[in-house]
Amino acid sequence: MRRLRLVKDDTSFDFFKHWKMWLGISGVMILLALASFGLRGLNYGIDFRGGTTIRTESAQTVDVGAYRDAMSALGLGDTVISEVFDPSFGPDKNVAMVRIQAQDDQEAVTPETIAAVEAALQGVSPDIRFISVESVGPKVSGELIWTAFLAVGLSILAVLVYIWLRFEWQFALGAVLALVHDVVLTIGVFSEVQIRFDLAIIAALLTIVGYSLNDTVVVFDRVRENLVKYKKRPLKEVLNLSINETLSRTIMTSLTTMLALVALYVLGGDVIRGFVFAMIWGVFVGTYSSIFVASAILLWLGVKRDWTKPEAETEAAPGGAKV
């Protein structure tokens, strides 16, 4: 049986022929992302702007699309509607969560607004009942923004310490700058296209950090092995060899992940579309940064060639072995 091969075993692409240009492009993209964030800001969702969550219950099956159409006529701004699933619910217990953004910086929506929402939804499901109404004020939302970005910052700091302990400081700096590159560009895209930015996107950012780090560590592990194996080769050749050796794994992982994400984006509905969009962009930019940012920075900084245990040097076969 023949194996599917996306990349030949003897690949020898020169990824660092124009490495300064790639770093320059990444630098310009980061500046554009920061400029977009400063000028346009983010389209914060209810989690970060405050609002009211209404829990509804009805015997009729929840039709999220019909609920959304009924709510759109009220002009309440950002509204998120999702069905709640629980194995303990009976067939006549259909629960939904309706989340409405804060109106004119008020702590909660007015009774008149709730009455209007109830009337609109009763047109879709006459037996609908409002079980609970909970509000998140602007102060709590501001705290959520701070803690969310703090979580992303601390995760990147933890990565810096981890890579520094596992490799050397040059590896750590390259990996962390690649992660900052991925996060900033993702925030820049959300700022430019004004997709709703909520806690689900923060979860996506943390997932992107993990995905990009995993890809970078795979490359760096092979770089470290080849630095031991080929002590007399220039660092540029060692980096090129290492990336070519792991290229098959990188492409296969990215493509299979993309297949699942595209399916979720098309079929998953509006509730998770922002999260999936962030992940699709993150997989693309994370794969790019592990090669053209993290490894290019490592080439720029250089690596001590005497930090590993001495081993007998052997000649490299073209392309090397695959992961």
Q: Give, for 95, the enclosing helix (H) or strand (E).
A: strand 94-101
What is residue 227's predicted lDDT score, i.e. its pLDDT? 84
More confident position, 5 or 266: 266
- The H-assigned helical ranges of the chain are 19-40, 46-49, 64-72, 111-122, 138-166, 169-193, 199-229, 235-267, 273-292, 294-301
Q: DSSP letters of 222-270?
A: HHHHHHHH-TTS-HHHHHHHHHHHHHHHHHHHHHHHHHHHHHHHHHS-S
Yes or no: say if 46 and 83 are a contact pair by the CB < 8 Å rule.
no
How far apart, in whole angstroms, are the C-alpha atoms of residue 49 and residue 144? 9
Single-letter amino acid, residue 214? N
Domain with CATH 1.20.1640.10 in the chain: 19-42+141-301
Quick: pLDDT tens for 231-269: 788 888 888 888 888 888 888 888 888 999 999 888 876
Query: Tokens in use for 212?
Result: 């990009």
Q: Which residues pair with 196 in a beta bridge?
A: 43
Q: Which CATH architecture has domain 51-136?
A: 2-Layer Sandwich (3.30)
- Is the pLDDT assigned to residue 317 strictly greater than 50? no
Lowest mean pLDDT among 54-58, 166-170, 203-207, 314-318: 314-318
Quick: pLDDT tens for 260-296: 999 988 887 667 788 899 999 999 998 898 888 888 8
Domain with CATH 3.30.70.2040 in the chain: 51-136
Please state, as a whole number, how many other Cβ atoms lie within 10 Å of the Cβ of residue 262: 12
The crossing angle, in degrees rounded to 10, of helices 169-193 and 199-229 is 150
Q: Which fold has domain 19-42+141-301?
A: Multidrug efflux transporter AcrB transmembrane fold (1.20.1640)
Q: Could you tell me the pLDDT band of residue 314, with boundaries at 50, 70 and 90?
A: very low
Which residues lie below 8 Å from residue 136, measured CB to CB, with a gap of 6+? Answer: 46, 47, 50, 51, 52, 53, 102
